[in-house]
Amino acid sequence: MRRLTVVLTLLGAALFLVPGAALAKGNGAGGVSGPAFYVDGELYRTVGTPTDLSGTGAPAHSFDTIYAIPDQPNVATAAPGDSGYNGGRWMVQVLTFTDYQDAVDAVDDNDSGDIDSNDEVQAAIAGGFVADIEAGPQFVCPVIPVPHGNA
């Protein structure tokens, strides 16, 4: 059952990253997504691209991390302007929670109702709320701020 959950989570994460008619339809030209992930509590969207960098041998430090979190937007570790930002090169880490709501209650520093920053993800991991972290795909996609009021 855990394996099925991980596969479904990876599939869900990939859906906002892979271009196609479903993304392009209703989301603007070029497949611009709606709110897809948080960076430091701010929502961002992206454009799906057909890249797959898995297995290329690129060093881990050339990627930023996106944490795939079920039932909420994912959390990315960096955005344009951040020191060390890798230009939209991502590796996915799929998180499985022991109890998601307990984690939110314990680590949601800004009372957003979600885990929405790398600091909150790291606090959930350190607090024992994350039962498993599984490596997912590596890819390229842009980071586009969601205009305030459009979330």
pLDDT mean across residues, the chain: 82
Task: List pLDDT tens digits, range 102-115.
Answer: 999 999 999 999 99
Asked whether the beta carbons of 137 and 15 are under 8 A apart, the reply is no
pLDDT at 142 over 70: yes
Kindly state the average pLDDT of the residues 124-140.
96
Return the structure tokens found at 146: 């969601």
Quote the DSSP letter at residue 61: G
The answer to whether residue 8 scores a pLDDT higher than 50 is no
pLDDT given at position 3: 41
pLDDT of residue 149: 64
d(CA 107, CA 114): 9
Structure tokens at 112: 């957003």
- For the chain, the farthest-separated pair of C-alpha atoms sits apart, in whole angstroms, at 42
Give the pLDDT of residue 28.
Answer: 34
User: What pLDDT, in 10s, does the model give residues 46-58?
Assistant: 988 888 899 899 9
- Which residues have a Cβ under 8 Å from the Cβ of 111 and sit 6 or more positions away? none
Q: Are 38 and 114 in contact (CB under 8 A)?
A: yes
Residues 18-38: what's their mean pLDDT?
52
Contacts of 21 (CB under 8 A, 6+ apart): none
Q: Which long-range contacts (CB under 8 A, 24 or more apart) does 122-126 make?
A: 124/95, 124/97, 125/95
Write down the pTM of the prediction.
0.77
User: How is the chain split into domains, by residue range?
Assistant: 2-145
Share of the chain above pLDDT 70, in %: 77
pLDDT at site 49: 82
- Report yes or no: 128 and 65 within 8 Å, Cβ to Cβ: no
